[in-house]
Amino acid sequence: MADKLIKPHGSDTLNPLYVADDAKRAELLKEANALPSIVVCSQAAANAVMLASGYFNPLKGFMGLEESVKVAEKMQTKDGLFWPVPIVNVVKDASSVKGAKRIALKDPNVDGNPVIAIQDVQAIEEATEDQMKLIAEKVYGTLDEKHPGVAAWMSVGRTFISGPIQVLNYSYFITDFPETFRTATQIREMIQKNSWTKVVAFQTRNPMHRAHEELVKMAMKAEGADGAVIHMLLGKLKKGDIPADVRDASIRKMVELYFEPNTAEVTGYGFDMLYAGPREALLHAIFRQNMGATTLITGRDHAGVGDYYGPFDAQAIFDEIPKDALVIGIYKGDHTVWCNKCEAIVMIRDCPHSKEDYLMLSGTKVREMLSNGETPPAEFSRPEVAKILSDYYRSDRGKE
């Protein structure tokens, strides 16, 4: 049955970098204690988790400076493979590992900074400020440091440590989200177990309201899909975004009550949000292909933030890349609203009515309502979902 699944990106089989053999992993952990070590940044730790999970197949580790610039400029690795975002281990100060050929990478997001991976060092290189800016401008489309992705990139340091890695754990994701965190391999196995042949993937860093729910159902219908993987980001977000455990609870409730049995699975992946709009949408497509999805839903303002990208830039970019760059298909969603005349959630492009007939609520307006203890209209949010979110907003956590 394995050969029926969509091929991973850039290879015939998935190549996760997690050391699954217990004895081998114990041996490497013992070795790691004697190696020169460095605490990496949160994004590098998340990159290690994505490499461990098979999501970044077929990469073997962290890119060097020259390859990072090539990926930023041409969306190609040194081997010519299509890749939209540099996958790097960048630090402020590499003096603790200077001259070492093999080093231990320590996790900044877990108490005590345990070793997350061992890296064979190919090079330690210092980028110029111009090179850092070039990468930022190509990946994020802006140099504005109010952009959370740019701010993170420009503050992380300029020292690139490149080379293959062996990953020894999945950071905090497997302990904090045991029911939700899944590797690409596990999702492929789940797709096979469910006997799904066509699978849509829905990316989310937010709770899902009725428009999102309908978008998934519309995509499934259009693609003739028998399954949907709702795949939520579990890593670091910007201030004001809803924590993963609250999103998880609200999405699970929606799937439980409003999707047909065995048609949707709620899962998550360990990555820090880049907010890179179009480039991040391409990365999303790669790792959804690696996990076995046949179609990625790209919605309005996919992976965007603020006004840095046009509402459909993350869809248009798929028309600009080489035709053979990806195997996965793309479902392009329009703005989805409640239409009073249709008495249904509709895509604006498919509806003959005008904006006067639409119920449109901004995320800000909904957050306001929820924090005031008001329930958003049933046309916008399922009441069971609204209750979970409302309880969060009125709690001490929601007021932080």
Q: What is the DSSP letter of 337?
A: E
Among the listed residues 298, 307, 294, the one whose alpha carbon sits nearest the alpha carbon of residue 279: 298
Maximum Cα–Cα distance across the chain: 69
Instruction: Compute how many other C-beta atoms are within 10 angstroms of the C-beta atom of residue 397.
Output: 12
Q: What is the mean pLDDT of residues 45-49?
A: 98
Of 1-10, 193-202, 354-363, 380-389, where does the model show the most confidence? 193-202
Q: Is 260 exposed, middle or buried (0-12, 13-18, 19+ CB in 10 A)?
A: exposed
pLDDT surpassing 80 at residue 365: no
Note if 340 is an active site residue: no
Q: What is the DSSP letter of 383?
A: H
Residues 222 and 331 sit within 8 Å (Cβ to Cβ):
yes
Note if 206 is an active site residue: yes
pLDDT surpassing 70 at residue 399: yes
Name the strand (E) or helix (H) holding 229.
strand 227-233
pLDDT surpassing 60 at residue 215: yes
Q: What is the mean pLDDT of residues 198-214?
A: 92
Residues 160 and 135 sit within 8 Å (Cβ to Cβ):
no
Q: What is the mean pLDDT of residues 89-103?
A: 97
Residues 333-352 pLDDT 10s: 988 889 999 999 999 999 99
pLDDT at site 340: 94
Pick the catalytic residue: 15, 25, 206, 252?
206
Helix H, strand E, coil C: the string for 240-284 is: CCCCHHHHHHHHHHHHHHHCCCCCEEEEEECCCCCCCCHHHHHHH
Kindly list the structural domains of the chain, giving each domain's residue range(s) and its CATH number in brackets, ordered by start. Answer: 2-174 (3.10.400.10), 179-399 (3.40.50.620)
pLDDT surpassing 80 at residue 362: no
Rounded Cα distance, 128 and 392, in Å: 44
pLDDT at site 374: 86
- Category of 220 on φ-ψ map: left (φ > 0), alpha (ψ -120 to 50) or beta: alpha
How remote is the C-alpha of 73 from its chain's centroid?
22
pLDDT at site 2: 41
pLDDT at site 62: 98
Q: What is the DSSP letter of 90?
A: E
Pick the catalytic residue: 182, 205, 279, 300?
205
Rounded Cα distance, 87 and 72, in Å: 10
pLDDT at site 241: 79
Q: What is the DSSP letter of 87?
A: -
Q: What is the DSSP letter of 214?
A: H
3-state secondary structure of 227: strand
Among the listed residues 31, 66, 54, the one whose alpha carbon sits nearest the alpha carbon of residue 287: 54
Lowest mean pLDDT across 53-62, 138-147, 369-378: 369-378
Percent of the chain with pLDDT over 70: 98
Among the listed residues 176, 29, 174, 175, the one whose alpha carbon sits nearest the alpha carbon of residue 105: 29
Question: Which value, in Å, is the radius of gyration of the alpha carbons in the chain?
Answer: 21
pLDDT surpassing 90 at residue 370: no
pTM here is 0.95
pLDDT at site 1: 35
pLDDT surpassing 70 at residue 363: no
Rounded Cα distance, 76 and 79, in Å: 8
Q: What is the mean pLDDT of residues 366-392?
A: 88
Residues 181 and 174 sit within 8 Å (Cβ to Cβ):
yes
Question: Interior CA angle at 175 toward 172 and 181, to 5°?
Answer: 85
Q: What is the mean pLDDT of residues 277-289?
A: 98
Q: What is the DSSP letter of 349?
A: G
Written as one letter, the residue type at 370 is L
To the nearest whole number, what is the mean pLDDT of the chain?
94
pLDDT at site 236: 83
What are the start-end ranges of the E strands in 16-121? 37-39, 61-62, 90-91, 102-106, 115-120
